Structure 1
Amino acid sequence: MTTLNHLDARSACISQYDPQALPVSAAQAIVLQWVTPLTASERVPLREALARVLAADMISPIDVPAHDNAAMDGYAFDGAALAAFASGSTALTLKVGGKAFAGHAFEGEVAQGQCVRIMTGAPMPAGCDTVVPQESVQVQDGAITFGPAALECGANRRRRGEDLARGGVALAAGRVLRASDIGLLASLGCVEADVRQRLRVAYFSTGDELRSPGEALEPGCIYDSNRYALGAMLQRLNVEAIDLGVVRDDPAALAATLKLAAETADVVLTSGGVSVGEADFTRTQLQALGDVSFWSLAMRPGRPLAFGRIWSGGRPGAGRAALLFGLPGNPVATMVSFYQIVRPALMAMAGAQPQPVPLVPALSEASIRKRAGRTEFQRGLAYRDSQGQWRVAPTGSQSSGALSTMSEANCFIVLAHEATDLDAGDVVDIMLFDGLV
Structure 2
Amino acid sequence: MATPVGILTVSDKCSRGQALDTSGPALRQLLESGQQRWSVVTSLVVPDDRQLISQTTRDWCALSPGSAGPLCRLVIITGGTGISPSDVTVEAIEPLFTKRLPSLATAMVVGSLKITPMAALSQVAAGVVGESIVVAVPGSKKGSVENLQQILGVLPHAVDTAMAYAGTRHLHPATPVANTVEPLAMCGCSRPDDDGGTMHVAEGLSNDLEASVVRRARKSPYPMIPVDDALQLVLSHVAPLPPVQLPLGEIREGHIIAADVIAHEDVPGYPAAVMDGYAVIAADGPGTYAVRGAATAGRATATPLSSGEVVRVATGAPIPAGADAVVMVEDTRLLESSDGEEITVEITDAGRVAPGQHIRPVGHDLRKGSVIVAAGSAVTAVGGEIGALAVSGLSSFLVHPMPRIAVLSTGDEVIDTLGPPSALEYGAIRDCNRPALLAALASLGCPTLDLGVVKDDPDALARTMQEALKTCQGIVSTGGVSMGERDWLKPVVEQRLGGRIVFGRVAMKPSKPTTFATLPQGQFVFALPGNPVSALVAFHMFAAPAIRKLAGHQGTSALRPSTMAVFEGRDISLDRVRPEYLRAALIWEKSRWVARVTDQHQQSSRVASMLHANALIALPRGTDQKPMVRRGESVTAIIIGAPHMGV
User: Is the structural similarity TM-score above 0.5?
Assistant: yes
Deviation at 1:306, TM superposition (A): 1.0
1:186 aligned onto 2:390: yes
Query: What are the superposed Cα offsets for residues 319-373 of structure 1, whole Å, 9 maximum, x if unpaired?
Result: x442121112121222222222112212322345553464454433323526377
Matched letter for residue 240 of structure 2: P
Aligned position for 1:159: 361
Aligned position for 2:403: 199
Matched letter for residue 105 of structure 1: A
1:122 aligned onto 2:322: no
Aligned position for 1:363: 566
- Pairs within 5 Å for 1:85-234: 93=286, 95-96=288-289, 98=292, 99-111=294-306, 116-128=311-323, 130-131=325-326, 133-135=328-330, 137=331, 139=333, 141=335, 142-146=345-349, 154-173=356-375, 175=377, 177-178=379-380, 180=383, 181-188=385-392, 190-196=394-400, 198-213=402-417, 214-234=421-441
Evaluate the alpha carbon distance shift between residue 370 and residue 104 of structure 1 in structure 2; reply closer, same or farther with a 3 A threshold. Answer: farther
CA distance in 1, matches of 2:346, 2:367: 36
Range with greater deviation from structure 2 (399-408 or 258-267)? 258-267
8 Å contact from structure 2 (residues 545, 560) kept in 1: no
Greater relative contact order structure (CA < 8 Å, 6+ sep): 1
Range with greater deviation from structure 2 (235-244 or 364-373)? 364-373
Matched letter for residue 345 of structure 1: A
Figure out how many residues of one structure are paired with residues of the other and give that number.
410
8 Å contact from structure 1 (residues 202, 244) kept in 2: yes
Which of 385, 395, 412 matches 2:615?
412
Matched letter for residue 297 of structure 2: A
Q: Could you state the TM-score of these two structures normalised by the residue count of structure 2?
A: 0.54
Aligned position for 1:36: 239
Deviation at 1:153, TM superposition (A): 6.1
Aligned position for 2:41: 12
Aligned position for 1:239: 446
8 Å contact from structure 1 (residues 56, 172) kept in 2: yes
8 Å contact from structure 1 (residues 58, 170) kept in 2: yes
Aligned position for 1:434: 642
Query: What are the superposed Cα offsets for residues 255-311 of structure 1, whole Å, 9 maximum, x if unpaired?
Result: 444444445532122211223344333234445443222222233332221112134
Query: What are the superposed Cα offsets for residues 29-56 of structure 1, whole Å, 9 maximum, x if unpaired?
Result: 2212111332263544x33332455454
1:294 aligned onto 2:503: yes
Deviation at 1:219, TM superposition (A): 0.9
CA distance in 1, matches of 2:313, 2:428: 72
Aligned position for 2:539: 338
Aligned position for 2:582: 378
**Percent identical residues:** 34
CA distance in 2, matches of 1:106, 1:370: 77
8 Å contact from structure 1 (residues 94, 114) kept in 2: no
Deviation at 1:100, TM superposition (A): 3.5
Matched letter for residue 207 of structure 1: G
CA distance in 2, matches of 1:170, 1:370: 51
CA distance in 2, matches of 1:435, 1:173: 27
1:402 aligned onto 2:606: yes
CA distance in 2, matches of 1:418, 1:75: 71
CA distance in 2, matches of 1:21, 1:31: 15
Aligned position for 1:314: none
CA distance in 2, matches of 1:243, 1:335: 17
Gaps of 5+ in 2: 6-37, 46-55, 61-70, 72-222, 336-344
Gaps of 5+ in 1: 82-91, 312-319
Q: Could you state the TM-score of these two structures normalised by the residue count of structure 1?
A: 0.77
Range with greater deviation from structure 2 (62-71 or 252-261)? 252-261
Deviation at 1:113, TM superposition (A): 7.4
8 Å contact from structure 2 (residues 493, 517) kept in 1: yes
